[in-house]
Structure 1
Amino acid sequence: MRRRALLAAGALGLAGCQAEREIAGGFNGPSAERGHLLREARALAAPALTRRCEVLVAGGGIAGLAAARALRQAGVEDFALLELEDSAGGNSRGGRVGGLACPLGAHYLPVPGDDAPEVRAFLEEIGLAQRVAGRWTYDERHLCHSPQERLYFNGHWQEGLLPLQGVGADTLAQYRRFAQRVGEARARDRFLLPLRGPVPPSHRALDALSFAAWLDRAGLGDPQLRWYLDYCCRDDYGAGSATVSAWAGLHYFASRHGFAAPGEGGERDAVLTWPEGNGWLAQQLAQALGERLQAGRVVTRIAPLKHGVQVDAWNAATRQVERWQAARCIVALPLHVSARVLDPAPAALSEAARQLRHAPWVVVNLHIDQPLRDRPGAPPSWDNVLYGAPGLGYVDAGHQGLGVTPRPTVLTWYRALGDEPRARARLLAQPWTAWREAALDELSAAHPDLRDRTLRVEVARYGHAMAIPVPGTRTSAALAALRGTQADPWRRLQFAHSDLSGYSVFEEAFTLGHHAGRRAAR
């Protein structure tokens, strides 16, 4: 071997041994440490000061923010909202990575139907919706731009999320049969969103078994169909079809856009979305509150008084306990938190908290320096899903931009952990790099240059992200009791959280908060 060739071979060997570029990042999103202060509440110091207001709202997620808006609409200005984190919004918060806006949780809102007038009125108030010639129209700048969604299936990107590329006649026949069953369910009883009124007998029967069991009974076992339905359940409820109820599985389709088999027409409902996801909506609700929004407050105790309610909260900034006294209180906290802080806890609350099961989630934001190299097929979309992957795919925070020049963006990858054993403990124990690698490994199957393009990764963890509508949730007497009028000693209390519906979507949280605020104002 000549000397030049020997040197070249040595250089190649050294290049092959080089370590991969380290991608910086860390955790962001909600603080598990702050939330776990509830476990140490009894050891905290005595209150350092006492503050008073007419109405106190405990919890600043979408339900709490909607309750505050309803108070203002009713002319109640003497109120305060206590929020655990440094900003309001709950699972709808947005953030920034590399200076670019991105979601930290929920990232879209379907255009509301006639069953959600409260949500539609809010959208009209902030200029997104208006009634023209008897029809509701929406600001196109906020509607999801096309192309909306695609699926990486059999090494190829296809338009839409229902697997179609190369499937056989038997699979297509099962798609049509499922569409027929959804249509029959919609015709028999209405599937309302948000929930209202009594539970029909047919819904009670559906709530008694899992969605997977219902599909088995219906003879709907095609692998492609079952993957798609399982994906839908994990996406909306945090757990798969073997965990959620048959009522919930059908409600996903029957309450909104139905299910159209290929070639049968029909379109998915339009959705509203923003670079920061539903954080944009949360900001619209929060910005009018001013100093009435008291962030960084960990509510540790809520107790009845003779003529009102007393609330203790740990101020994370001053590291002191504040005592609040109010004539009325809206508890917009997750039910397992409410059951811990209410002293004493109503029996229905303790029972509802025991019944509910919550799904942990992880949300990974990847800041990339330019568009990724793509596999063949459908073009890059807002929502991009990989068939058979543990995660739920990613959304592109830059999709709503109108520029045509390629530029950096943020891809937000989601993974629901509601079906995984000891998921909450693993979520909190693993370093952020473990979730970075999970996202990069999964998405690299469709984007082989992802690691080279990624500048930074930030990870948000939600230990109790959302209630899972397991069998029995829809017909829970305890949840129904909490949605009603409270009796002594809690007649001055209103509950408002999506947990009351047994699953977490914007429409449920907003409507429950709105009505709790109206009742408190009266």
Structure 2
Amino acid sequence: MKLTRREILKSFLGLPFILKACRFEQDIAGLTGEILGADAKVGHLIRDYSAPEVIDENIENKAVVIVGGGIAGLTAAWKFKKSNFHDFVLLELEPRIGGTAQSGRNSFISYPWGAHYLPVPLKENQPLIDLLNEMGLTEGRDERGEVLIKEEYLCRYPEERIFYRGRWYEGLYPHIGESERDKQELAEFQKKIDFWVNWRDSSGRRAFTLPVANCSDDAETSSLDKISFSEWLRMQGFSSERLLWYCNYACRDDYGLTIDETSAWAGLFYFCSRVRESGDEAQPFITFPEGNGYFVDYFYSKVKEHVRLKAAVVEIITNDNDVTVVYLDVVEQKYRAIKAKMAIFAAPMFTARFVIRDFKENPPDYLKEFEHNCWFVANLTLKDRPKSRFQQDFPLSWDNVIYDSPSLGYVCATHQKCIDYGPTVFTYYHPMGNSKESRMKLFSLGWEELVDIILMDLSRAHKDINSLVERIDIMRWGHAMISPRPAFVRSQALRKAQKPYRNIFFANTDLSGVALFEEAFFHGNRAADEILRIIRHQNL
């Protein structure tokens, strides 16, 4: 049954918008845009593939096949090239490389379609620092040995603002009007964070760091994964509405989940993993107009000749000696196959049971533990900036958050280019959780209905948004990122999934339980290193 406009707005934006929707109809005449992203027909073809014969002339040989062109797959390909290994191919389903880190561009600026920043890594994360050095983003070390990033690549001021009770304020925590109890709880929360930042196990490992593989597996830290973040907050005696909102925003921002749905381990990881020691600020952000698409473009420039786009992998057949990867060449509508010694599966884990033949017939128990949440992202092209309501409003920033919105607000693509007047692009993020119902609801709506949701939501803070926006493009991510729910992040399921299956090696952020660039980079490097060691041993 088709939902009414009121029902859609209530479902996406909350009860207060029902009355407003009755009084206000969106005028989108003259507004252009489209829904971009994965072709559902190709996805269903992968799911329903019935194994037709691939003719000999469409079969080739390679040493390694990489399945998936997100950050993990691109990292593995980059690692191979750096190691002077060239006998590989990367297959990517989409016409664009990069997965959830891909970007777009209009006539005047690039913009992200997903991940849009990278915190400066701590000095222990040398492989990632090596990448930043190679890309020319660094300028030495400070007195503590921490890497320094060139100023033009660090998020410029003003960085963040929040729309709260009709006004824009600096930062993401709403200090205005806070009570003494609010202040006390925020200070006490910071003490808890400081405790975990400074915590070390008997081997000297931190409780929370990047990559996750370097975190302590001590029982004291692992037990945090058994409860939700909201449970942990209640156990510490926290009840401040502002603090709970702030923690909830943090979980929705990084994981697409609420504090009720997020593991306490993952909630604390958000606040602790990017802080060197108590008293320090969190690591600054490296960002670009196109977000992490900047890294995608760099990797792609290094491995482009090994990449095949619009290559939908439909089956992976493995035995003790080799692996055959069958894919649909979407452009030519032909099935092709690659026979290889080894493969890297760098696609989301939920797809493994649809394409790995042995998993179709007998899926490992751990696969059912992998749950992904859905999002939609929109890029709004504006002919000018929204006007501030009050002279004292904090100005347009890189990250702009609306306190009472179920969305995450938007980032401003022109901010990092110091373009502070005239046309711009706002990238709007709306997480929807990991339920099947949420996914069905998202994909049941068309462009006009999603545009209505976006403009109504942004009108909370920008009354003139309709008169300024010229185009809205939308991308729906049905399985955007892994869900770090309780009892998953430190589970045996994750440990089992990281092990190779015969000659298939796995590499994606799912294997860390948190969907971050640093984790994709780590697993891409790890899988490539494992294969390179085998190849070197065989060549001895």
TM-score, reference length from structure 1:
0.91
TM superposition shift of 1:372: 1.2
Query: What is the aligned counterpart of 1:388 among 404, 407, 413?
Result: 404
The answer to whether the 8 A contact 1:348-1:482 is kept is no
Counterpart CA distance in 1 for 2:471 and 2:419 is 23
TM superposition shift of 1:126: 0.9
Which residue of structure 2 lines up, in the alignment, with residue 205 of structure 1? 223
Matches within 5 A, 1:350-369: 350-369=364-383
Which residue of structure 2 lines up, in the alignment, with residue 456 of structure 1? 471
Matches within 5 A, 1:19-418: 21-42=29-50, 46-47=54-55, 49-97=58-106, 100-132=109-141, 134-189=145-200, 190=206, 191-197=208-214, 199-257=217-275, 266-345=280-359, 350-376=364-390, 377-403=393-419, 406-418=421-433
SS at match of 1:196: helix
Counterpart CA distance in 2 for 1:289 and 1:143 is 26
Which residue of structure 1 lines up, in the alignment, with residue 528 of structure 2? 517
> 1:97-144, CA deviations, whole angstroms, 9 ceiling, x for partnerless residues?
455311111111111112422211111111112424655221222111
Counterpart CA distance in 2 for 1:334 and 1:17 is 39
Change (3 A) 1:135 1:211: closer
Q: Letter of the aligned partner of 1:214 in structure 2?
A: W
The answer to whether the 8 A contact 1:157-1:375 is kept is no
Q: How many residues align?
A: 498
> 1:443-487, CA deviations, whole angstroms, 9 ceiling, x for partnerless residues?
112111110000000000100000010111122212112324x3x
Identical counterparts, % of pairs: 34
TM superposition shift of 1:18: 12
TM superposition shift of 1:29: 2.9
The answer to whether the 8 A contact 1:364-1:435 is kept is no
Q: Letter of the aligned partner of 1:37 in structure 2?
A: L
Q: Letter of the aligned partner of 2:49 in structure 1?
A: A
Which residue of structure 1 lines up, in the alignment, with residue 480 of structure 2? 465
TM superposition shift of 1:36: 2.7
Change (3 A) 1:18 1:293: closer
Matches within 5 A, 1:476-487: 476-484=491-499, 486=500
TM superposition shift of 1:403: 4.2
Which residue of structure 1 lines up, in the alignment, with residue 519 of structure 2? 508
TM superposition shift of 1:407: 2.2
TM superposition shift of 1:384: 0.3
Q: Letter of the aligned partner of 1:309 in structure 2?
A: V
Change (3 A) 1:192 1:269: closer
The answer to whether the 8 A contact 2:228-2:261 is kept is yes
Counterpart CA distance in 1 for 2:344 and 2:396 is 43
The answer to whether the 8 A contact 1:98-1:367 is kept is no
The answer to whether the 8 A contact 2:320-2:503 is kept is no
Q: Give unpaired runs (5+ residues) of structure 2.
A: 1-23, 201-205, 534-540
Which residue of structure 2 lines up, in the alignment, with residue 4 of structure 1? none
TM superposition shift of 1:427: 1.3
The answer to whether the 8 A contact 1:182-1:258 is kept is no
Counterpart CA distance in 1 for 2:512 and 2:221 is 14
Counterpart CA distance in 2 for 1:268 and 1:159 is 17
Counterpart CA distance in 1 for 2:177 and 2:170 is 13
Which residue of structure 2 lines up, in the alignment, with residue 422 of structure 1? 437
Counterpart CA distance in 2 for 1:459 and 1:204 is 38
> 1:226-245, CA deviations, whole angstroms, 9 ceiling, x for partnerless residues?
11100100000011100010
The answer to whether the 8 A contact 1:348-1:481 is kept is no
TM-score, reference length from structure 2:
0.88
TM superposition shift of 1:285: 0.5
> RMSD of the alignment, in Å?
2.3
TM superposition shift of 1:167: 1.0
Counterpart CA distance in 2 for 1:253 and 1:348 is 39
SS at match of 2:72: helix
Counterpart CA distance in 1 for 2:164 and 2:219 is 39
TM superposition shift of 1:185: 2.2
The answer to whether the 8 A contact 1:183-1:258 is kept is no
Counterpart CA distance in 1 for 2:71 and 2:363 is 20
Which residue of structure 2 lines up, in the alignment, with residue 11 of structure 1? none
SS at match of 1:400: helix
TM superposition shift of 1:420: 6.3
